[in-house]
Amino acid sequence: MSTNEVKEIKEQIQELLTIIDAIRKEVSEIKQAKIQKIHMPVATDELDAVVLSTEEATGTIMDAAEKIMEMASSVECEASENIVGEVMKIFEACSFQDITGQRITKVVKAFKVIETKVNSLLLSLTPIDNLAASGKDSDSTEKPVDENDKESLLNGPGLPGNAMNQDDVDKLLSD
């Protein structure tokens, strides 16, 4: 190897060290505590509030629907049956609250995975004494389904197009 080649390699290594040093400085400015203590709790609290407010709103809608049904059944006319039929549709539609609640729980789990990943990244790029120990790691919020692992069976609602519909379920049951 010629002297010039050695010099070039040294310069490239020096350049790399400068880049790594710059990354370290940038990463050390990221406030890990802020992510853990402010951003993540705020995001999950907001999502919890969404679940709570939709639950309250659904409760109010259902209270009203139950009263309408009561009133309709105490009146003897042809319209009464139609009113009850329409109120049933309101009840059916109210099941959105259960589905959205389960979807939001999945989002909260995804946030926790992201938090763990960010912590791991920070740990690998900054001096150990600057960072708190990272939590357990996981690649996904959704484990592969395993009959012997009951928790892996609990994945909540699938996304449209990805989940089975009632006809698919009926076919599976009848096979």
Partner 1 sequence: MDKSMNVLIVDDYRTMLRIVGNLLKQIGFVNIDEATDGAEAFEKLKQKNYGLVISDWNMEPMTGLELLEKVRADDQLKSLPFIMVTAESKTENVLIAKKAGVSNYIVKPFNAETLKGKISAVLGE
173 in contact with partner 1 (CB under 8 A): yes
Please select the residue that binds partner 1; options are 6, 42, 49, 145, rule is CB under 8 A.
145
Supply the DSSP string of 85-102, one letter for each residue: HHHHHHHHHTTHHHHHHH
Count the site residues for partner 1 by CB under 8 A: 37
104 in contact with partner 1 (CB under 8 A): no
Measured CA to CA in angstroms, residue 7 lies from 11, 24, 66 at distances of 6, 26, 84
Please select the residue that binds partner 1; options are 10, 91, 110, 149, rule is CB under 8 A.
91
135 in contact with partner 1 (CB under 8 A): no
With respect to partner 1, which residue has the nearer C-beta, 8 or 66? Answer: 66
Site for partner 1 in 9-68 (CB under 8 A): 55, 58-59, 62, 65-66
With respect to partner 1, which residue has the nearer C-beta, 129 or 147? Answer: 147
Task: In whole angstroms, give the CA distance from residue 42 to residue 56.
Answer: 21
Measured CA to CA in angstroms, residue 13 lies from 5, 35, 36, 115, 152 at distances of 12, 33, 35, 33, 47
